[in-house]
Amino acid sequence: MAHALYPGSFDPVTYGHIDVIQRASALFDSLTVAVLNNGAKSPLFSVDERVNMLNSVCKDIPNVKIDSFSGLTADYVTKNGIDVIIRGLRAVTDFEYELQMAQTNRKLAPKADTVFLTTSLEYAYLSSTTVKEVAYFGGDISKFVPKNIEELIFKKYKKINE
């Protein structure tokens, strides 16, 4: 049984993430998607909101579970007996950071390997940051995120701007 972990910020989850989740869930027996609770960043959505969003978009994928964590990914990996860390690679610009992270995680949690999935071409340009920027200025994000996530993003900006 191979248990994979897809860690990330998911602020918010996009079609790019969902593509990686679907493909990773088909490759491994079980997949945990875990939201990092990072005190150093100021996210748009709380950890609970991001977990709820992921639960809603993954509800039909039977071997996927959603979790959150604080601290090091490597500690989560060791504590939960994770075999594989999943990361999506969009472009060469992702590579240097991802390579460094994979090698650090391998030193800290030697039993786990990182597996990179190259993002499907139609989502190669997509990032949560871009989605937030387009939404902030009232642009159309319907091609970037599912309908329910789109509504939550606009609702959040409406609340912030009140």
Closest CA to 45 of 54, 90, 130: 54
* Catalytic entry in 9, 25, 87, 90: 90
Q: How far is the CB of 13 from ligand PNS (least distance, A)?
A: 10
Report if residue 32 touches ligand PNS, rule: CB under 6 A. Answer: no
Would you say 72 or 134 has its CB closer to ligand PNS? 72
Question: Segment near ligand PNS (CB under 6 A), from 4-12, 24-32, 51-59, 116-124?
Answer: 4-12
Report if residue 8 touches ligand PNS, rule: CB under 6 A. Answer: yes
CA distances to 14, 90, 111, 112 from 54, in Å? 10, 20, 27, 24
Would you say 9 or 25 has its CB closer to ligand PNS? 9
- Helix axes of 128-136 and 147-161: crossing angle, nearest 10 degrees: 50
User: Tokens 């809603």 map to which residue?
Assistant: 56
Report if residue 68 touches ligand PNS, rule: CB under 6 A. Answer: no
In the chain, which ranges are continuous DSSP H helix?
15-27, 47-57, 73-79, 92-108, 128-136, 147-161
Residues at the site binding ligand PNS, with contacts judged by CB under 6 A: 7-9, 36, 72-74, 101, 104-105
